[in-house]
Structure 1
Amino acid sequence: MSALTGEALELARAHAQAVVRDLRATKTRLDDPSIDLILREARSHYAWQDRDVPEALLRTLYEITATGPTSMNCCPARFIFVRSEAGKDRLAKSLKAKNIDKMKAAPVTAIIAYDPEFWRELPYLFSHEDRRPHFEGKPEHSEATAFRNSTLQGAYFMIAARALGLDVGAMSGFSNAIVDEEFFAENGWKSNFLCNLGYADETALFQKLPRFTFEQVCSFL
């Protein structure tokens, strides 16, 4: 994909700026109940209702997630939505025993992964200039960039899911090596973390755990 130039570039920039101005004029911030839904009162869930999550909703979830910012618009995250019994059995090979039932009870478990060679797609994703030389032949830099930005995208994914009325339960109690061998042997992607997805059974919740105060972890310079 070639970069826009001249009048086409100016028109695209003007449109982008107008969209942001119009949005801010319409809604300057989320109301408190909306913030509660996605963060303040949201919880990680471990038990699930027997309710299907439609494919159309998962597609919407991805479309929202994909709009979140990443460095150089590199978008390294890759998502596999594990819904079938066969897929869950494959994924169970990687899990610690205490997490298998949690995963199998969830309508969907997303494998949030990343492509270490994301930089090959930069001519499409970041068409302003060719940034591939920043990564080509530099596997450690590519790996760090992919991991960091896929983690960001995973966080966007969870917040977007909550905004759409879904519940989430992220999991790290699994073997990345087994997931990578089982699901990504052919394409070289790497797993970051897992996230159960669906409609929660709130009766399994316990009290909310404490968080640090501003004074404990923040400062001004």
Structure 2
Amino acid sequence: MNRKKNRIAGRILSAIFLFIGVSVANVNAQVHEIGLGAGGFNYTGELARKFNPLFYRPGAEIFYRLNFSPVVALRGAFSFGGIYGSELKSKDPVANYRQGEFKNNLTEVSAILEYNFFNFRAPKDSRKAQSSSRITPYFTGGIAFFNTQQDLGTGNSFFNVAIPIGLGFKFQLSEHWNLGGEFVARKTFTDYLDGVREGTINYRRTGDILKTDWYYYTGLTVSYTFYSVKCPAIYHK
């Protein structure tokens, strides 16, 4: 299982670096951003078979975004927050019997590619400036590494890989300030987020070993843009 996760992570990282290389080869200037985000994490797994908005718990992120062009960007982020799930009010017979509930903390680092559907915030002196937009939806996907508790009884932590996939929007408030929002789902390769796995919880029914847990982040972001300055070429006779 670890070899499979390593292969998947390696392929995703290779695809990201290849995409960055192609983008850099076709762009003259880069735009840098730093930002903060606030929102909430959610979870689905054995203790939450369906997405439940009542299970949201606070979360936040700090990120750096490198805009290779008005269409393509790469974002690196550090995120943290809580996840929660419960069967205490479930009407499902199995869940009602098991009566499982968990609370967990989570930290994450990620590298995510963003594809803007419109030319977003093109530099004024570029050929794309006339067709640029102050607002754009975007698609995002990449790789994340997260840390949380493996055994909720003992507090032992574990490190794992997730695949983030989501949608968002960006809005240019001014020349330097931007507002954004997104919903990103993380597919994990573990069934340990909620403490229900091949073993038991409260000495009752085991978890579903054929399915892995997911976690989600929904939030708003504010970022500040730094435009790169082009130095004029100097020619010597």
TM-score of the pair, normalised by structure 2? 0.29
Larger Rg: 2
TM-score, scaled to structure 1: 0.30
More helix by percentage: 1
Ranked by relative contact order (alpha carbons within 8 Å, sequence separation 6 or more), the top structure is: 1
Instruction: Report the structure, 1 or 2, having the larger strand content.
Output: 2
